[in-house]
């Protein structure tokens, strides 16, 4: 199971979370990555934790002021990137462009989607993974795995119908090891979570709890 911790724009200390994630990953032998703000990528990558960007734009080098260039986040230490997060929605053509840009830069890709139908559509673009996240559960206390298990099962099926090589992650409201275990039982091979760690009083303890059953 892969645990991808998205720090969004939460006012946490990205280096503190990254250091804890690095240590918990080493101690548990569970793959854990941290996805900070673009401006914090280098500091987070320097801790040694696997580091992901929250977004890359579809453009190449050139006159694209304000863009997040895939090559630049790779140079800053990112090994992967989210694309089309629910809070950073994109048109399908731009999702395709961002996946291609990420591949060009050697970044692993996880394309997010709201529901199983969208999961099928974005799986067809050939990312490494997709992540299903019902927007109404994001940032809440109810785990998608218990509040809406069918959306995870159906997303796994939708992706497999398009491309069996695309991994399926799920996210929204996941904060405990029991939630992670339940998501795995539904067929997810990764977890995308944010508030359960980024807003925790003790991020290290929250991470330890997440990996405990794995």
Ligand X SMILES: O=C[C@H](O)COP(=O)(O)O
Residue numbers of the site for ligand X (CB under 6 A)? 6, 86, 133, 138-139, 171-174, 192-196
Considering beta carbons, is residue 60 or 177 the nearer one to ligand X? Answer: 177
Whole-number Å distance between alpha carbons of 59 and 128: 20
Query: By the 8 A CB rule, do 180 and 169 touch?
Result: no
133 is catalytic: yes
- Tell me if 161 sits within 8 A of 154, measured CB to CB: no
* Nearest to ligand X of 106, 135 (CB atom): 135
Verify whether residue 212 is a known catalytic residue: no
CB-CB contact of 108 with 128 (8 Å): yes
Give the Cβ contact number of residue 126 at 10 Å.
Answer: 16
Which residue ranges make up the annotated binding site for substrate?
6-8, 138, 173, 194-195
Distance of CA 154 to the CA centre of its chain: 19
Cα(24)–Cα(18) distance, integer angstroms = 10
Binding residues: 6-8, 138, 173, 194-195
The residue (of 158 and 174) whose beta carbon lies closer to ligand X is 174
Residue 53 per-residue DSSP state? E
- Least distance from C-beta 38 to ligand X, angstroms? 15
Least CB distance from residue 157 to ligand X, whole Å? 21
Residue nearest to ligand X (CB): 195
**In degrees to the nearest 10, what's the CA dihedral of 37, 41, 43, 46?**
150
**In sequence order, what are the beta bridge partners of 88?**
none
Tokens representing 85 are 């997060």
Q: Which of 133, 157, 181, 208 is catalytic?
A: 133
Smallest separation (angstroms) from ligand X to the CB of 154: 18
Q: Which helix (H) or strand (E) holds 132?
A: strand 129-132
> Least distance (Å) from ligand X to the CB of residue 173?
5
User: Token pair of 178, please?
Assistant: 């029991």
Q: Closer CB to ligand X, residue 4 or residue 159? A: 4
Rounded least distance, CB 62 to ligand X, Å: 29
Rank residues 22 and 55 by Cβ distance to ligand X and give the closer one.
55
Catalytic: which of 85, 157, 164, 208? 85
Q: CB count, 10 Å around CB of 91?
A: 10
Q: Which residues are catalytic?
A: 85, 133
């Amino acid at each position: 199971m892969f645990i991808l911790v998205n720090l969004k724009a939460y006012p946490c200390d990205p280096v503190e979370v990254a250091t804890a994630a690095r240590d918990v990953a080493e101690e548990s032998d569970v793959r854990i990555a941290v996805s900070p703000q673009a401006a914090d990528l280098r500091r987070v990558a320097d801790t040694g934790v696997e580091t992901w960007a929250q977004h890359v734009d579809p453009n190449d080098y050139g006159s694209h002021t304000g863009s997040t260039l895939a090559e630049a986040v790779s140079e800053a230490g990112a090994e992967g990137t989210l694309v089309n997060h629910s809070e950073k929605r994109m048109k399908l053509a731009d999702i395709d462009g961002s996946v291609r840009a990420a591949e060009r830069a050697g970044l692993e890709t996880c394309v997010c989607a709201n529901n199983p139908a969208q999961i099928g559509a974005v799986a067809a673009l050939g990312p490494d993974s997709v992540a299903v996240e019902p927007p109404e559960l994001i940032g809440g206390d109810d785990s998608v795995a218990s509040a809406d298990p069918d959306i995870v099962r159906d997303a796994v099926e939708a992706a497999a119908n398009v491309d069996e090589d695309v991994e399926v992650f799920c996210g929204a409201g996941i904060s405990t090891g029991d939630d992670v275990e339940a998501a795995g039982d539904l067929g997810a091979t990764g977890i995308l979570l944010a508030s359960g760690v980024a807003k925790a009083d003790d991020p290290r303890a929250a991470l330890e709890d997440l990996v405990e059953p794995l």
